[in-house]
Structure 1
Amino acid sequence: MTKLRNATVSVFCTILLIACGCAAKAQLDYKNALPELLNRYAKSGSDVAGVRLALTISNFYLYNKSYNRYVDSALYYSRAAENVSKMIGYQKGREDAEVLRATALLFQKKYTAVREMAAGASGALYCRLYLLMGKHFLEKDGGVASDLNFADSCLTAAQSYASSHRMPVLFLNSKLYSYHLLVERGTDLRTADQLFTKLVSLCKAQRQPAIEARLWFTRASVVGPAEAETAECFLKGAMLAATAKDTSLAIWARKEIADVNLRRGKFDLAAAQLQQVLQQYTRAGYKNLQFTYNLLSAVLTHQARFEKAMQYGIAAVAHAESTGTDLSLNFMQYSLAQLCASMGQREESMAWYRKCLENSAHEPHYPYGIYRTVSRELIDSGKAALVLKKLEATMRVHPPDASNYLFVLMLKGDCYAALNRPELAERNYMEMIELTKPQGKEDFGSYWIYQSVAAFFVQQKEYKKADYYLSKVLSAPREMISTTALASAYQFKFKTDSAAGNYLEAIKHFQAAKGITDSVFNHLRLKQTEELQIQFKTAEKDKENLVLRNRNTLQRSDLEKELLQKKLIGTGLFASVMITGLMIYLYRAKQRSNNDLQNQQKEINDQNQQLNVLLGEKEWLIKEIHHRVKNNLQIISSLLNTQSAYLHTSEARTAIRDSQNRMQAISIVHHKLYQSNDLSTVNFQAYIEELVHSICDSFHSDKGIQFDFNLVEAHLNTTVTVPIGLMLNEAITNSIKYAFADTELPRIAIAMVETEDDQYELSIRDNGKGLPENFDVDGCSSLGINLMVGLSSQIQGRFSICSDQGTVIRIVFPKLMG
């Protein structure tokens, strides 16, 4: 019965968590996968296609990644797009890059920088930046009055500019957000409806179905998440999006309609609609199907179709990992944990729970529902007091919002019940019920809470109180109660009826619970039996195919023997008629000569074949060595990373990180050699760009450093590439750590050119504060400087460092060394 109750919790929590996780990601890229985008970008050139790829990657990092942890990467690609757009004169690409850069700065809360960008802009970019700021402050958590007032001022500025400069599309967009602002401020519905009607008319008059579609979506958020009118708003928006030929928006709206029906308890309809959404996404070639898979898994869980739900849940996680979209990945892992629990797979369930909590550590909305489930293990092992202490500590780090506070109250109730303090447990459960009353109409979550409270009272043997909440559950509309939850409610009712002496009713409820339980698990066993039968039939067919293949082989062998015999007989007859004594001698001599030549040719061919095999094995072994060296370096780096968690001084952690970066510089060389067809040299330009990206990621820098590359096309061998990579690592690390304390627009330029005396000159220049006045490279005790000097000597090069509007490092080395 515990398994069945967990399935009910799964559906409620999954719906709640998905709503929290996806609401803020309205511009999610459903179409692309990050690995494919990066691969295409690496092969692209400095043209419009390359700019569009860089913009798409920047948008992906902003909206498909969890909670703005990859803003630096988004800034990197937006700057790349902006630089190429300036170079080729692509104005739209330049403006789109500016908007993405402003979005990244808003995520980093650098509001002053964005205001300065907007104030200095003109034309459509001016309106877009003010719209961006207005939208950001309008959608900020909390709905603070000051944020809404600032959003209003930004939207007003955009409307005024768009109106005076005749930009109807941008004007309509700003009015759309103004409608959203009225709703957010709690303006009376009549005023908001009047503006809505006016905007619909304007959209129709100006033939802007895409904007009208978004207006209906905003209207849906006013109505509520589980109302019939909400589905109608999404349906109108979907049709308008289709008219505007916005495939992504149209399919997304259809998915939202299914989500509304899921919340309303219309699970069969929701499942059918989600299947249609999957087909549409697949036909359109979209990669990010995990959100649809996860919703479909929630529907099937409610219907007690656990195997199918598990398949879709695993598919959701697999799609998220393969596309590089980790947004809501933790919620998908939570769903799988609940499904494993429902199917009795306790160890797998707890493993998924822990993965979910690990992925949720950096989220603004900490998943207390999952935290409660994981904490149940400690409570069941008699450590409820410890759970209470940990809960208080966690709440200080992650203050719960309104939706998560319900789980906090429930966990406290669970702890006090285990500590035999029923009065405190009941107080927390009752507070939880009180918090759900302002929502008005009872929904799926309300009945789940009633059932949880009833379970507590049954445990405390307060059967009358339990009976009150069980009556609410059993009188609920059938679509609001899952099959498994209904079985659990009947089981509790059996206990309350037995305690009250209503034995006939108790027997009826017991039989009802057992009937549902048997039906669900008989279905599971039947499914497993069918799968075994399919496997058995497949194995039998494989055996039959093997027998047929053997018979065919024997028949071919017999046929070849017969043909050979016929040829031998014919040759013998021909030879006996044609050959005389002299001719036999000449024929045999010639035959011997031919045989000798054929044997020699065969020996040559065999030797060539052996040489080719040995050469292939040698190349494979070299690649394998590079691969294993890279893996070993990664293992050492991971060990250092683990060790750093036990260090208590910043100097030690910095030393660990510097060592990791040095190993990463060497590891990238072996990675490039492993991927390349040329096992002796490395493409220097690709290596430097990947190394710079790796160093930036290791620092998680929020300085917004821009890297400029001017690198001659060169392929260097490993004896040069590894030392140069280490020197670049030291130079860039020093710049990031020490150069830009007071620099507004930090920049690092990396260049390598050929000199007239047949040498390479590599320079690393930053625009930071430069070297100290009395700096002496010979008397310097810095490990990084000494390492660069030593490595320069290793490649027979010359090392120099000076200040020139920042720090400039030059290494000149012979071209023959490369």
Structure 2
Amino acid sequence: MKTILLMLAIFTGLVVHGQPKPWKELNRNVSQPGNGIAKVKAYQAMGQFFAAKPKSVEVHLDSAYYFTDKALRLSKTLTYYEGEGMACVLLSRIWRERHEFDKAKVCNNKALAIARSKKLVALEGEYWCEFSYYFGWGKEQMDRIRYLEKALVFFRKANSKTQLMEVLASLAEQYTNISEHRKAITIASESLRMCRDAGRADLLQNLYDLLGICYTKMGLYEQGIKYSLAAAKEGDKKNDTSIQMASIYNNLGLAHYYNRNYTDAERFHLKALELAVANKDDNYTHVVINNVVNDLVHGGNAKRAERFLQEKLKQHKAENPDDRIMDKLSLITVYGALQKNSKANNETLTLIALAQEHKPALRQSVIYNVNATAIRYFFNRKEVSKAQQYLDKNKEIARITEDQFYQRNNTFWDFKIDSLTGNYEQAFKKYKTYSDRTRRAAKQDQDNQIALLQVEYDAEQKSNDIKQKERNIQLLNRDARLRNAQLENDKTIKIVIYTVFGLVLIIAALLLYSFYMKRKSVRQLEIKQAIIEHKNVSLENMAEEKEWLLREIHHRVKNNLQIVMSLLNSQSAFLTDAAAIAALKNSQQRVNAMSLIHQRLYTNENMSSINVRDYVTEMIEYLKESYQVSRNIRFVTHIEDVTLDIGPAVPVGLILNEVLTNAIRHAFPSGTGTVTIEVFINSNENFVLRVTDDGKGLDQAIEWESTGTLGMRLIKGLSKELDASLDFTSNSTGTVTRLEFAIKYTAVEDLT
């Protein structure tokens, strides 16, 4: 029973590449902005997180693939070869977990190609590490170990301490599985030292558990208890309630059991049972139940063991053959201790039949324990041939497994059977062989203890050597840095001196050049300034000359117009026809309207525009004087401060002259009335002239648009020239004339 229980204690494997970071931290890293190398590593960490989850949930592998694929694509975009290679390794793992080994190997081979082409030593180590998992247990176990050791070489070469300690831990587990416990302890101790130095608490628990198992298997129970307790303490720090914690407590209980401390063994096995039930692991639950039974039986509590077993078997019914056989073995142990031979015999026969039925599915250790129970049963019944038959089966198992406990136990039963058949000579030889093997086992335990001390000494010595080497390396590096710093300092001083000297020369040359260029620029500026001043004087003279000429032109135009008015006035003195006289007078007024504009222009400082208010006021005064209506007709003006270019000013003056003349002559038969003149700029930025009188208005039978008088034709023609809108409104209360056009300003240069 002892062997099967210890073999089942190796329950959980170590996870290569360490434990994933907490989900919140991973999710925060993935959500960070940017698409650099940090984002690649965040995607890879998220892929590893999902890949490490239970493989029974397919969505975990889908999520792992999603994030790893994003890491791969981004790495290619960034030409980040290490990230691309690591993504390929992780994809290989995902495909391997899905049992699609062809796709897994393609991805892993891509990682190897990148590693070798870009000389990424650590990445090649990752390749061999992943490649080792293509091999299973049993005969392929050594292949897995060989490739893990190959990965170890590359990680040592790359000085990748994180990968190094993880692969060492995994390699120690593989050696434990093939019962190479000394080698496993040596490797695990190295990994443990590195983990302590690096503060890798996530690996400490696994390594302590592994060392506890190895020392227990070697019969060094106190050391086994020491390391198993350390593993349990690490789990308690993290509040670990996983099935791995149940395994640690179970291993701790087994170490106490083999050390014959059955009370502590029971205590830790009950803790393991509680966690196994909480994690709903039926198989492990039955393993621990049977361990508790053995603790109670060997501790002298067979009756309590019976009650405990019956109670637990009711609560946890065995579903698979291994569990059912283990339960039968526990029942046989309890009944045997209570000397309930009939029940023990019945359970034994049931056990043999059950094992025969499920033999292909059973492990060798289970079959060995079934055969051992059958040997004891048939020996007690003196059925020697059947007992020998089952003993021969166990001898074959011992030969295959090379298990010394099996061989020693088989020799003991050989002695017992030969003694029962009266073959005392053979019985004596077998007993002597059994005694020799027992002594060798005891000596082996002593040798193991010595070997342990040697291993610990070697590990300590190696650790000290490594630390000394690291200190030496640090000292050498420090000396090298100091020398390099001194050389760099000397070099820097020389560079500074040369640089300063060179800068002084450059600055001197620049100053001289700057002085020369400045003098040259000053001379050029003086020449240009003289030219500019000469041109400015010429321009000022030209401007004054232009202004004088322009004033002279306006003055002469005004004088010419006055002459024309005088000629018209002289001509009218010789006329007797009233219509002709009126026509000449109208012409005089029109000429006067234009003359006023030119008068305004040459008397103003600004010769390109006139002030409308002054112009209108002067025109009204002229018309009042010309028609002698200053007392009878009142003129009201509402004129904004508006100026007009000479271009529109002439047509506006002529139109205003015509409208006012018509109002004076025709609007007021009684000779009295009011004429209102308004000038303003409206909301559309248009010039508006509105003349309103309160006279009799036009004859209703006359349409103003069709009126063919010279004055009306002149008004319409001038309005069209201004592109203006012209409106007449006339009724019995008076007439309103409204002119509106957009102002177009003319530059002075255009006028000249």
TM-score (normalizing by structure 2): 0.48
- The structure whose Rg is larger is 2
